[in-house]
Structure 1
Amino acid sequence: MRARDLMTADPVTVPPDTPLAAVASLMAERAISGLPVVDGEGRLLGIVTDGDLMRRLAAKEDEPASFLAALIGANADQALRYARTHGRRVRDVMTTDLATVEDDATAEEVAKILETRRIRRVPVLRDGRLVGVVSRADLLRAVMAPVAEGSAEEASDGRIRREVIREMRNQSWVSTRFVFPMVADGVVSFHGFLGSAEVMAALRVLAEGIPGVKEVRFETHPAPPFMLGIP
């Protein structure tokens, strides 16, 4: 599988001048931990994460640089920290040292970057512009449903699963963060947490609308208390 098969396409992004208060609200509402930062032409500038926001919240008063530190330039590090912990816009706190992949990168290449860089997500680029993001969860789902080469039936299952995921990502009432499909012999089974019978019924309709689906099953669990309100 390639990055384009795994990624969350057209992810939520923010411009660099976005106020941090707005970013915090967006992350909380969408239950996401990181947002790509792009310019007006879709070029990736950085990523702002919940860790960046927590760092600002937990920052202590900076200690004044000593006279000796000022002489040798050590106060530059303190100035950078001050900007990151006191800034009010995304450009002040975002991470700019990024690892990225092209959309034709293999799943193995993506996994290696996530592991070696110890990061949770990697932006996917095409012609220099952001087209998606691959997270560790995306890779885990791919590992759980491998598609054997040369098998037409399994390849068909892989196509069905990708189409189901794509349709789910287009809906506001369900999240692939908490519900994920598996496909075997044309049978779609949903796993994870579901908050209501209405969402279950809508997912059944969604899956049955995919060509090749023979049956839809649910092996989900009710959403625990701390996830109330999540479809």
Structure 2
Amino acid sequence: MRDDRGVDLGGGVLVSDVMTAFPAYIRLGATIRRAAELISVSEVGQLMVLDHDGRFVGSLSEEDLVRAMLPGFDDVTAAGGTLAGAFQIFLERGRALADRVIDPLVVRDAVTVRSVDELARAAIVMIDRGIRRLPVVDDGTLVGTLSRADLCRAVIYHS
């Protein structure tokens, strides 16, 4: 365990020991199209979002993007209530939203951990809240992410 200054107080594995140090990120003002491209290419389900000064502001998941494009029940009913009709609406909404900025979709109250936090604490937060990837933020700066896969690696390499 380490104190707020990073001084080792004895204890277990730290978040910094297993986190992904180069996370996929995007900046405020980017388009939904760019976010979809980054998620597709990076093969992560969540992008970290930075402001123009490089400060962490939140996250944007593939779920957030898909939810923005999904048609509502009334839209599906108006289109005849078919799966094909719903998919057509989904595609049209995706095209209509593609060049809009991501800013309204960003989750700004994202749960974060610090690199000096105990890994066990972070794991409990992730499981209790159903979080797949946690931003690792030190003094407002994104320094990495911690995924469930990182937790699995910790069991292999730190046991």
Note if contact 2:24-2:42 (Cα within 8 Å) is conserved in structure 1.
no
Q: Which has the higher contact order (CA 8 A, sep 6+)?
A: 2
Residues 5-24 of structure 1 mapped to structure 2, 5 A cutoff: 5-24=17-36
TM-score by length of 1: 0.50
In 2: Cα distance, 1:10 partner to 1:41 partner: 18
Closer, same or farther: CA 15–61 of 1 in aligned 2, 3 Å = farther
One-letter amino acid of the counterpart of residue 139, structure 1? L
Partner of 1:220: none
Note if contact 1:13-1:36 (Cα within 8 Å) is conserved in structure 2.
yes
One-letter amino acid of the counterpart of residue 126, structure 2? L
In 1: Cα distance, 2:51 partner to 2:22 partner: 14
Note if contact 1:56-1:86 (Cα within 8 Å) is conserved in structure 2.
no
Secondary structure, aligned partner of 1:36 = strand
Closer, same or farther: CA 120–87 of 1 in aligned 2, 3 Å = farther
Give how far 1:17 is off.
Answer: 0.6
Greater strand percent: which structure? Answer: 1
TM-score by length of 2: 0.72
In 2: Cα distance, 1:90 partner to 1:7 partner: 26
> Which of the residues 45, 49, 59 maps onto 1:37?
49
In 1: Cα distance, 2:45 partner to 2:17 partner: 22
CA deviations 1:152-171 (Å, max 9, x no partner) are xxxxxxxxxxxxxxxxxxxx
One-letter amino acid of the counterpart of residue 50, structure 1? E
One-letter amino acid of the counterpart of residue 60, structure 2? V
In 2: Cα distance, 1:90 partner to 1:34 partner: 13
- Identity among equivalent pairs (%): 33
Closer, same or farther: CA 106–89 of 1 in aligned 2, 3 Å = same
Instruction: For structure 2, list consecutive stretches of 5 or more residues without a partner in the other structure.
Output: 1-12, 76-96
Give how far 1:7 is off.
Answer: 1.0
> Which of the residues 77, 88, 91 maps onto 2:100?
88
Note if contact 2:14-2:117 (Cα within 8 Å) is conserved in structure 1.
yes
Partner of 1:122: 134
1:138 equivalenced with 2:126 (yes/no): no
Point out the structure with max Rg over C-alpha. 1
Instruction: For structure 1, list consecutive stretches of 5 or more residues without a partner in the other structure.
Output: 64-84, 148-231
Residues 1-231 of structure 1 mapped to structure 2, 5 A cutoff: 1-60=13-72, 88-147=100-159
Q: What count of residue pairs does the alignment treat as equivalent?
A: 126
In 1: Cα distance, 2:99 partner to 2:45 partner: 19
Secondary structure, aligned partner of 1:9 = coil
Closer, same or farther: CA 102–62 of 1 in aligned 2, 3 Å = farther
